[in-house]
Amino acid sequence: MERIIGLIDAPFTPMYADGTVNYEIIPDYAEMLARNGLKGVFINGSSGEGYMLTEHERMSIAETWVRAARKVTTTNGEPFKVIVHVGSCCVKSSRLLAEHAQKIGAWGIGAMAPPFPRINRVEELVKYCEEIACGASQLPFYFYHIPAFNGAFLSMYDFLKTVDESGRIPNLAGIKYTFESLYEYNRCRRYKDGKYDMLHGQDETILPSLAMGGAQGGIGGTTNYNGRVLTGIIDAWTQGDLEAARRLQNYAQDVIDVICCFRGNIVGGKRIMKLIGYDMGPNRTPFQNMTDEEEALLKQKLEDIDFFNHCNK
């Protein structure tokens, strides 16, 4: 399967003030991301509030992104990829979303473990992914490992080994790895001389993953507004400029430190989009939306680190 080289963005789901999805902004959104060095999108995931969307909304969002992607190209002239997150608490719904993604021409699909019921064994996770992935057997499937969201603190090495030895998910491309264990990340990356595509999923640790010899590709959330800096880390590393790579990685941490003051990327990051000219609207309940006063403080904190001269344009 084709490996992902570079960074894929995890976009927000744009919404109007009344909470309905704003599909109209997606073509401009896609063009902005491509212009700032992103290679594609991983839609309807955690940043996109996927679990708070209806099946119809998720399908309509996927259709809109696929249409928009056909009209933009990346900075190196490649097609703009659309990976559809299809995970849900109902595996039948996930299978339906996977079938739909393949039908409309998405590049790939992915799924995180459900938040309920909690998956406690590797075999349970393999079965869950197997039922979903076979719904889009012609597309690469990525498991989205983010245990902080669903409590699935399982060995990803054992997951890969079980799938590989059983042959039960032939279209498993790899893992979007959003967890703190660089040791396990690298262990998975080295499995059978790099058989699986290990997509780095933490924007704050891109550089150490590069230094270990992996992280050819990644999926980020702060890439929505800080993509120029994050892609710059990879560019600097590739060019052998370690000091520049360190400087950019540290700056990326400065930005993350700011959003951590405002309920993280899903809430604070979504509001940053408004400040750079792409109003994504409110978050869905039960997320606590930012107040106008918080927005003013957010803007001030960003100005204090000269964010608006570094952010996506």
Residue range 242-268: mean pLDDT, rounded: 98
Q: How far apart are CA 112 and CA 114, in angstroms?
A: 6
Helix (H, G, I), strand (E, B), or coil: what is residue 21? strand
**Model pLDDT, residue 77:** 94
CB 107 within 8 A of CB 82: yes
Residue range 3-29: mean pLDDT, rounded: 97
Catalytically annotated residues:
144, 176
Helix, strand, coil in percent for the chain, rounding step 5 = 50, 15, 35
**Model pLDDT, residue 252:** 98
**Model pLDDT, residue 70:** 97
Helix (H, G, I), strand (E, B), or coil: what is residue 73? strand
For residue 107, name the pLDDT band (cuts at 50, 70, 90): very high
Q: Please say if the pLDDT value at position 76 is more than 80.
A: yes
**Model pLDDT, residue 212:** 85
pLDDT above 90 covers what percent of the chain? 98
Q: Please say if the pLDDT value at position 195 is more than 80.
A: yes
Which residue ranges make up each domain of the chain?
6-227+234-239
Architecture of domain 6-227+234-239: Alpha-Beta Barrel (3.20)
For residue 214, name the pLDDT band (cuts at 50, 70, 90): low
- Report angle CA 183, 259, 176 to the nearest 5 degrees: 35
Q: How far apart are CA 125 and CA 143, in angstroms?
A: 10
Instruction: Give every CB contact of residue 292 below 8 A, 6+ residues apart in sequence.
Output: none
* CA-based nearest residue to 7, from 47, 50, 57, 42: 42
Q: Please say if the pLDDT value at position 213 is more than 80.
A: no
Question: What is the DSSP code string of 41-61?
Answer: EEESSTTTTGGGS-HHHHHHH
For residue 1, name the pLDDT band (cuts at 50, 70, 90): confident
pLDDT one-digit tens code per residue, 286-302? 999 999 999 999 999 99
CB 7 within 8 A of CB 220: yes
The secondary element (H helix, E strand) that includes residue 30 is helix 26-35
Residue range 264-274: mean pLDDT, rounded: 98
* CA-to-CA separations, 113 to 125, 136, 212, in angstroms, rounded: 7, 18, 27
Q: Please say if the pLDDT value at position 215 is more than 80.
A: no
**Model pLDDT, residue 145:** 98
**Model pLDDT, residue 116:** 94
pLDDT one-digit tens code per residue, 155-192? 999 999 999 999 999 999 999 999 999 999 999 999 99
Question: What is the DSSP code string of 106-170?
Answer: -SEEEEEPPSSSPP-SHHHHHHHHHHHHGGGTTS-EEEEE-HHHH-----HHHHHHHHHHHT--T
What does pTM read for this prediction? 0.97
Q: What is the largest CA-CA distance in the chain?
A: 55
Give the CA count within 13 Å in the CB-facing half-sphere of 225. 26
Instruction: Give every CB contact of residue 11 below 8 A, 6+ residues apart in sequence.
Output: 29, 33, 41, 42, 43, 47, 48, 65, 224
Phi then psi for residue 83, to 5 deg, are -105, 130
Residue range 91-107: mean pLDDT, rounded: 98
Amino acid identity for residue 43 in this structure: I
For residue 216, name the pLDDT band (cuts at 50, 70, 90): confident
Q: How far apart are CA 42 and CA 19, in angstroms?
A: 21
Give the CA count within 13 Å in the CB-facing half-sphere of 7. 30
